């Protein structure tokens, strides 16, 4: 196998390792590392590392500790550039140098200002051979971290379930659009996100739970945000009643929340208004500052339209169902045949009678 193909395969193996801790490493990205010795071009893995739960120790440190002396002369495969800044522990680039690694292959540069090429430079200065791949699949996996570091806001996924006649539901009442399989995929997406946002219209119409209810993943429900300029959330709503179990925040221009809501544990994110609506860029900046790297926007129609119009959607999860809602339905701001050109289709899945098409902004 040519060396560059082998490098790609080993980086893909690192990526599969990293996925095991995705969503569990706090504000740090989940990175995968393999330390590999070669016996006549046959790779022998001597150390494996994933960013630990909570974000520390980093993947490189874990792999070096596993490899021990076998790290000397090895090639390190890492999905993200090793860090270069000192904290309580030395930076990972230094740890790789100290471990005697001969070659490092990375799949993406870390845009964190404290790193951003400095990790790579440290390795080169130490005489280590360095190969930098730019793997699109790694960029996708790290998109939450990369978006927060590069744009100071969370990566936004807009999820919509659209009927065969291009509708999202009926204003003011809950109308199921997709089937059980599609809904379980949505629950899995929720488990992978830091937060979910909906508008006050969806809250009033659907009284949703917005939790992950897949067996075994119940503890992975993300934080819930409601765009609610007037703080009109009913204390009897499911979100309010379960705010002690799953953090629930109203994004509102109201200076204080009604006492009934604060007593239930609902918190407030202060928002600025723009044309009478919550200013989305400022809201996203505040969410990022509060540790949210990935946000799943689950509607409804007005909120989805605002995110699209502000060019604040990074990926689009479009569920299309054979259900027909009819004239009274709320038109979806986007359907399969109106996806804006800047989105590229990444994957399509058949889910019973429904279909999921996943798009990423180019």
Q: Which residues are catalytic?
A: 60
- Among residues 50, 41, 103, which one has the least CA distance to residue 74? 103
The binding track of 7-46 with respect to ligand NAP, each residue x by CB under 6 A or -, is ----------------------------------------
Tokens (6 digits) for 177: 């659009």
**62: helix, strand or coil:** helix
Neighbours of 278 (CB within 10 A): 22
Residue from the set 32, 49, 111, 299 that interacts with ligand NAP by CB under 6 A: 299
229 binds ligand NAP (CB under 6 A): yes
166 binds ligand NAP (CB under 6 A): no
The binding track of 50-89 with respect to ligand NAP, each residue x by CB under 6 A or -, is ----------------------------------------
User: From CA 357, how far away is CA 65, in angstroms rounded?
Assistant: 41
Residue among 10 and 302 whose Cβ is closer to ligand NAP: 302
> Which residues on neighbouring strands pair with residue 131, listed in sequence order?
105
Residue from the set 104, 160, 257, 287 that interacts with ligand NAP by CB under 6 A: 160
Residue from the set 152, 230, 311, 348 that interacts with ligand NAP by CB under 6 A: 230
Interface region with ligand NAP, contact rule CB under 6 A, candidates 68-76, 90-98, 236-244, 275-283: 275-283
Contact 332, 339 (CB under 8 A): no
In eight-state DSSP terms, residue 258 is -
Residue from the set 301, 317, 334, 335 that interacts with ligand NAP by CB under 6 A: 301
Residue among 75 and 306 whose Cβ is closer to ligand NAP: 306
Residue from the set 169, 243, 292, 334 that interacts with ligand NAP by CB under 6 A: 169
The secondary structure element, H or E, covering residue 357 is strand 354-361
297 binds ligand NAP (CB under 6 A): no
348 binds ligand NAP (CB under 6 A): no
> 60: burial class by Cβ within 10 Å (0-12, 13-18, 19+)?
buried
158 binds ligand NAP (CB under 6 A): no
* Least CB distance to ligand NAP at residue 294 (A): 18
Q: How many residues sit close enough to ligand NAP to count as binding (CB under 6 A)?
A: 31
> Which residues on neighbouring strands pair with residue 278, listed in sequence order?
273
300 binds ligand NAP (CB under 6 A): yes
Neighbours of 309 (CB within 10 A): 11
Parallel, antiparallel or unpaired: strands 273-274 and 103-106 = unpaired
Parallel, antiparallel or unpaired: strands 195-199 and 223-227 = parallel
User: From CA 46, how far away is CA 33, in angstroms rounded?
Assistant: 11
> Which residues on neighbouring strands pair with residue 315, listed in sequence order?
157, 360
Q: What is the CA radius of gyration of the chain?
A: 23
Residue among 32 and 201 whose Cβ is closer to ligand NAP: 201
- Report the interface residues with ligand NAP, using CB under 6 A: 160-161, 168-171, 174, 177, 198-202, 205-206, 227-230, 232, 277-278, 280, 298-303, 306, 330
């Amino acid at each position: 196998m040519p060396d560059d193909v082998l490098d790609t395969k080993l980086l893909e193996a690192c990526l599969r390792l990293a996925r095991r801790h995705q969503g569990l490493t706090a504000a740090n990205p989940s990175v995968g590392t393999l330390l590999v010795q070669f016996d006549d071009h046959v790779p022998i893995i001597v150390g494996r590392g994933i960013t630990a739960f909570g974000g520390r120790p980093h993947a490189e440190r874990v792999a070096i500790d596993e490899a021990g002396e076998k790290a000397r002369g090895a090639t390190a495969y890492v999905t993200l550039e090793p860090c270069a800044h000192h904290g309580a522990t030395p930076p990972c680039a230094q740890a790789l140098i100290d471990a005697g690694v001969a070659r490092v292959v990375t799949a993406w540069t870390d845009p964190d200002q404290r790193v951003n090429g400095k990790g790579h430079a440290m390795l080169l200065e130490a005489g280590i051979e360095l190969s930098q791949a730019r793997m699109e699949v790694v960029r996708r996996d790290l998109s939450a971290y990369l978006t927060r570091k590069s744009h100071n806001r969370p990566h936004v996924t807009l999820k919509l379930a659209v009927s065969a006649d291009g509708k999202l539901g009926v204003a003011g009442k809950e109308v199921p659009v997709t089937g059980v399989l599609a809904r379980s995929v949505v629950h899995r997406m929720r488990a992978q996100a830091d937060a979910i946002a909906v508008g006050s219209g969806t809250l009033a119409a659907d009284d949703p739970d917005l939790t992950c209810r897949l067996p075994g993943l119940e503890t992975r429900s993300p934080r819930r945000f409601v765009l609610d300029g007037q703080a009109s959330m009913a204390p009897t709503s499911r979100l309010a009643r379960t705010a002690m179990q799953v953090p629930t925040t109203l994004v509102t221009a109201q200076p204080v929340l009604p006492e009934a809501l604060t007593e239930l544990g609902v918190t407030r994110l202060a928002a600025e208004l723009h044309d009478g609506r919550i200013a989305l860029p400022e809201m996203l900046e505040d969410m990022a500052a509060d540790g949210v790297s990935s946000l799943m926007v689950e509607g409804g129609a007005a909120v989805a339209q605002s995110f699209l119009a502000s060019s604040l959607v990074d990926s689009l999860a479009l569920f299309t169902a054979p259900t027909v809602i009819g004239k009274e339905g709320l038109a979806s701001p986007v359907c399969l045949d109106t996806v804006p050109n800047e989105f590229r289709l990444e994957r399509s899945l058949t889910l019973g009678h429904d279909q999921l098409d996943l798009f990423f902004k180019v």
